[in-house]
Structures are given as C-alpha cells and as structure tokens.
Amino acid sequence: MIFAVVLNTVLLAIVWFLPKKLLTPAGIIHAWILGVLIWVSLGLRGYAVVAFYFVVGSAITRVGMAQKEAAGIAEKRSGARGPENVWGSALTGALCAIGSFLFSLFFPAAEVRWLVALLLLGYVASFSTKLADTCSSEIGKAYGKRTFLITTLKPVPRGTEGAVSLEGTLAGIVASVAIALVGWGVGLIPLWQVAVCVVAAFVGTNLESVIGATLQHRFAWLTNEVVNILNTLIGAIVAMLLVKGLQVSNLVL
C-alpha cells in the first residue's frame, strides 16, 4: 500500500507538470485512487495494463486534434480526462481487479482459481475494449474517409454517434491486440486468450456504436461515460463467456 501511494503520487505529479494536460486536477485525484487500487489488487502486472491504456489512449486522443476541434468533434478540454472519464474507462477493470484480489485472499483453494482467472481475463478484456473504442473513434474522426451509421450503413459525417469507418475499425483491432499482448506479457492471461480479448473488444466496441446510434439520444442519463462503462462491461462479459463456453466444450483446458 505504501509503495502504491508513493508510486502514484510521483507519477501523477509528473503528469500534473506536463505542458500538455492529460488529466484535469480532479481527474488526477481520481486517477491516483484508481492507480492505488490497481497496484494493491494486481501489482505491477495490472498496473502495466492500465498505464499502457492511459498513455496510448491519451496519445491517440490528440491525433488530428486541431482538425477535430475545427470540425467540433474533438473531445472536450482538448482531451484532458476528468473523473468521469477515469471511471467510465476503468470502473469495470477496477471491479475485476478488486474481485480477483479478494477471491485470492479469502478463497485460496484450487476450486476458485478458475474464477480468479476469469476475472483477470475480464480485467484485460475491459481495457482491450476501451482502448479499441478510443482508437477507433479518434482515428475514425481524424482519418476516416467514409463513415457510416452502424445501424443503417448510411453515410454520415465524422463524429456522429454510432458512426463507424474502415480506418477506425482497423485502428481499434490493432489497439485491442496490442494491449491484450501486454496483458499476456505480464502474465495476467495465457497467449490464446489474446484472441478472446480481441473478439470481445470488437463486439463491445460495435455494440457501443449501436447504443450510441439508437439509445443515447433518447435518455439524458445515458452519457458518454455511462456508455463507456457499458462498453467495457460488455467486453469483459463477452470474453468470460467465450472462455467458459470453450472450456465447457472441452476445446481448451
């Protein structure tokens, strides 16, 4: 705990003094809380995944920023993330991390190891889904030559809720592969589950686009941050269901 507090204080102090603001003051406080929770729950392994998401996601958000701001489709505050962005992106992952820690702590018997493994997969899959969503959206808004509404496939302007593009979709797939490989590299998931995370991220990202196109404008409470939580939750659940389905079918050990 002490190390987690010191580490996150030092790293977020550096973020505070960067010329390009990646987090709002309130966002820094909430990112500190998230960082401590992740380090205490999963240590360096979990921290590496969330740090990778933060660095890459922040960088991708700033791609083509001037062009996106001129078109009125850029993220607010020039991409600086507030508390709502922190938890919209990481709430699902944080719950999976805390759950895996608690089950390991209070139920160390071999009988529940499968549940811990599933929660670790859910953790990686949630961030794979969110990074895929961020990259597909930001690259699509910056470089998408043709954008279509996912529900009708009719051409729509860049930045439209529920819009998809080939460029954005490919960027999202690459992003989900990259962060899932980080999860494998630090030992959170076996190599074959990288593919599971990529499939789950693809499903979650596209269902998020469907929600944006069909429901988001109808309900005031369905903000971008709430949709992000649903997005990551779908990705985590899809990944866990896929693995359990494969195990029941005796296709994997």
Among the ranges given (28-37, 92-101, 153-162), the one the predictor scored with the smallest mean pLDDT: 153-162
DSSP the chain: -HHHHHHHHHHHHHHHHSSS-SB-HHHHHHHHHHHHHHHHHHHHHHHHHHHHHHHHHHHHHTTTHHHHHHHT-SPGGGG-B-HHHHHHHHHHHHHHHHHHHHHHHH--SGGGHHHHHHHHHHHHHHHHHHHHHHHHHHHHHHH-SSEEETTT--B--TT-TTEEEHHHHHHHHHHHHHHHHHHHHTTSS-TTHHHHHHHHHHHHHHHHHHHHHHTGGG-TT--HHHHHHHHHHHHHHHHHHHHHHHHHTTS--
Provide the mean pLDDT of the chain: 88
Q: Give 25's pLDDT tier (boundaries 50, 70, 90).
A: confident
Residues 137 and 168: beta-carbon distance below 8 Å = yes
pLDDT tens readout for residues 111-139 = 678 899 999 999 999 999 999 999 999 99
pLDDT tens readout for residues 74-124 = 566 666 788 898 999 999 999 999 999 998 888 776 667 889 999 999 999
Proportion of the chain above pLDDT 90, given as a percent: 51
Residues 140 and 168: beta-carbon distance below 8 Å = yes
Structure tokens at 75: 């993220």
Name the residue with tokens 């592969």.
177
Nearest CA among 9, 5, 1, 2 for reference residue 40: 1
For residue 113, the tally of other CB atoms under 10 A from its CB is: 13
Instruction: State how far the Cα of 138 lies from the Cα of 159, in Å rounded to an integer.
Output: 9
